[in-house]
Amino acid sequence: MSDRLTIAIDGPAASGKGTLARRLAEHYGLRHLDTGLTYRGVARALMEAGEPLDDEAIAEKAARALDLGSLDRAVLSEHGIGEAASKVAVMPSVRSALVDKQRAFASAPPGAVLDGRDIGTVVCPNADVKLYVIASAEVRATRRWREIMDGGGSADYVQILADIERRDARDMGRKDSPLRPADDAHLLDTSEMDIETAFQAACKLVDARLAARSED
């Protein structure tokens, strides 16, 4: 039996998967990777180097050179970087390069929690536990709006909802690695849950898997 533990968490934007992933990683003593930041990291590298965002060969080179240990969430959360990331994320060679890095991250002991949109289906299809975290678009828009307002910013709820619905359509409809639950993923609907309730529900699933694995 392997001592390594891999937890794959997928779901749409603002579903709470990132917060849940960080909590689980801390609880089980695992490393954490927000795979969305890897695409943002590539986009930022291209922007800083003054390179075009539509040249796949240059973008692939930046993806292969990306240091996963240098990903700064605070810096990479900037809206402009997110917009640029959406352009490079559709490039097959960029996705392939980053998936290689994400798999290498997951395979190193003691294991890891990865969150994104194709972890259970593409990156870690053999993960010990797969969670697919969802919430209604309205609930997710409200969460995002509150997050911005609590941070001292200003936001338009209607615009945020429209952005989330567009993002969902793009993520679920894309040809390469569309957002969908893996066949063996546990569905976790957080629409009526706070983070603590979602965390406890996820822990039960992980603990059950660990108990079953110890009996193998």
- The pLDDT tens digits of the residues spanning 110-125 come to 999 999 999 999 999 9
Mean pLDDT of all residues in 83-95: 91
Q: Looking at the predicted structure, is the pLDDT value of residue 191 above 50?
A: yes
Q: Which residues contact 102 (CB under 8 A, 6 or more apart)?
A: 33, 35, 38, 114, 116, 119, 123, 124
String of DSSP letters for 119-175: IIIII-TT-SEEEEEE--HHHHHHHHHHHHHHTT----HHHHHHHHHHHHHHHHH-S
The burial class, CB within 10 Å (0-12 / 13-18 / 19+), for 173 is exposed
Identify the band that residue 158 occupies on the pLDDT scale cut at 50, 70 and 90. very high
Which two structure tokens, joined as six digits, stand for 127?
A: 């993960």
On average, the pLDDT of the chain sits at: 93
Helix (H, G, I), strand (E, B) or coil at 6: strand
Residue with tokens 């709820």: 157
Alpha helices in 29-66 (DSSP H): 35-48, 56-65
Q: What is the reported pLDDT for 155?
A: 87
Helix (H, G, I), strand (E, B) or coil at 28: helix
Q: Which residues contact 134 (CB under 8 A, 6 or more apart)?
A: 11, 12, 15, 187, 188, 189, 190, 191
**Angle 51-89-59 from CA coordinates, rounded to 5°:** 30
